[in-house]
Structure 1
Amino acid sequence: MTTADDALRLLVHRQNLRNTCIAADTDAHAPLAPGQARMRIDSFALTANNVTYAAFGEAMKYWEFFPAEPSTLGCIPVWGFATVVESRAVGVEPGERCFGFWPIGSHLLVTPARVDAQGFVDGAAHRQALPSAYNRVQFCRSDPGYVQAHEARQALLRPLFITSFLIDDFLAEQSFFGARQVLLSSASSKTAYGTALCLSGRHGDAASVAVTGLTSQANLEFTRSLGCYDQVLAYDDLSALDPEVPTVYVDMSGSAAQRMAVHTHFNGALSYSCAVGGTHWDALGPGSGLPGPRPTLFFAPTQLRKRTHPPPEGWGPEGLQQRIQAAWARLMAAMDGAGRSPWLVVHEGHGVDAVRQAYLSLIEGRTDPRAGHMLSFWPPAAQA
């Protein structure tokens, strides 16, 4: 039975992401309308990617997925697992376990549309204008990539890795804009690692490029141990890179100062500046007034939609999924490589205090890069 203590959401102040509050989750008890279903959010991943969702909440409409009141507050989206606990929607039965895009909370009311054997789309009115890639809910029983023992890996890595896969695909499609090097900031992050893994998999091809990472001094040794970068430097050592080498900058950090340093260092040799993340959320700044190309925001759903189209523009839905599955298998093999120290260490947390503390550690940059937070508002015995 759901109690008042279980029916909660974590909200943050949009203008100061360090400020949080806990609010009642009204989706836990609101009466179901015909066509609706109530999801119990069993567990969810919390990573630097969710910090990016918050950092770009206004510009990329992430705050609009799970509206909060008053509007000065926001609910950060997360990826994870949920169970249907009540349903008035045809084809969506209680007990169905699902993977999808949820609020940091205990429940979510959904309006299942286009229900099929694989899952459904949340057809709630306020989500109609939002990117469809985030509205799809997958039934675990029909997900070919689902492994119960690896739920944490799926929640922590799969959404990020799909972004990594699409960044690599986009750059390769553009022949790397003529560059011979791809430079990634926040190189210890999971999205940067996935991108570097995909890029390094092209080594030996005519179109391959060198893969260079920038990270903090504290994460330097860890990032070098990942084995997918040709070289890794601390941010302060940027000047050691040859400024004449044609370079694409993939910016995972969003740091305005670091972006200026990279643009200034390479200047005419910088062939493309790709803005992806906001891990340095408190150091964001405008992309204008920089030497070299103006930064261009990479939005994964756009590339995903393009590749879903039939040839020649895309691969079709099946072709896309086959390629993603093959790349995912390479990631799993790299993670399980014999003799390597664990690259991902899962930290489970239960209850509102654990959720809040994990969030604050991420927002303040105190999380070990190996750590992957799997969280729940529910005690362990209450989870599916």
Structure 2
Amino acid sequence: RAWTRLGYRPEELLQLSWEDIGTTLPLSKLLTAMESGSGQVELMVRCRDCSSFPAHIGISRVKSNGRCYFFILMRDLSEQREAERMLRENQTRLDFLAYHDVLTGLPNRLQAFERLAQALDRARRQGTMVALLLLDLDLFKNINDALGHDTGDEILVEVGRRLEKIVRESDFVARFGGDEFLVVVEGITDLPAARAVAHKVLVSIAEPFSVGEQHFYLTGSLGISLYPRHAPDAQSLLKCVDTAMYQAKEQGRNSFQFYTPLMHADLNSRLALENDLRQALEAGQLSVHYQPQYDLQTGQLIGLESLVRWQHPERGLLMPRQFIQVAEESGLIVRLGEEILRQACRQSMQWQAQGLPPLPVAVNISARQFSQPVFVDTVVKILEETALPPHLLELELTESMLMQSV
């Protein structure tokens, strides 16, 4: 196929010199390979139409009847080189994906951790501070649920762009996952400097977002931790900033909080309470108390309101205000609400079996419980299990819960 690939007829090919087809290998190097008796070289071969392709040239010398013959075998490397090019491009793409967020193009969690560790090493050598800021977009889930993930994705991309605009070249922004962004600022001199960056972040997020013809307003909760003041290494510093960010959320969102050791103690206490609540649901430590409801004009008993209490084995009797928020944040409120509902319905039927008149029993329903797709099915199931007539069950919905559904 040599003449076909080169574009010459066989008789024309035999008349060509090395300079006619060898474009990147001097004749002297070819002769050196030939004189050695055997050799292999790679070069670009020129075709009749002046195009070229990579080729592998194998040279072998054979002596026969006192004469020396050279066999030259040429192999077209075009497909091999193209495959190698594609492999390099794929590897480059894989390397990018391993260290970058696909949606925003920002460094991802893996790269952020590595670059943070490098920043701390520099700060350690130079005796400077590093500020770590973790931004969580407030109630961003509502946008995804109401308008779809495509709209949410566009907003996340824009958040990344805004954050990159407010930091210096020596700093960096990373998407840490979901609707969380990490900002690492080197060379911080004091707390006011970190506070100024935090203020810029919140101001940039407060500007309206435009997607198509729609405009949206967002706020963010921001946690701040400082090296070396709050932690000596990247992993510990990330834990501190995460704790501070959740503290900002608990303080009403749209704000920033510096990490303090007291926050860590509060978080440990909250985690312990959450773990105890899980066990309490399994062990039956939660009970329902009932508050009578009277008609103010007649003084007649017209119903009962169910109130949950937790008989903690170490802390004693706990009121709802001491554990309901933990139940809400952990998602345990769904199981807790179902347990209260079941106990209230069962107790109402027991009273009726004892001869007491049937009275409506009211049960508070949380926003998270109400939003469950199986909520209605759960209520129907409990009514069927306990045989309580539906008209004797009242579900109380709070105003704040209803506003979340508007």
Relative to the length of structure 2, the TM-score reads 0.31
* Structure with greater contact order relative to length (CA < 8 Å, sep ≥ 6): 1
The structure richer in helix per residue is: 2
Larger Rg: 2
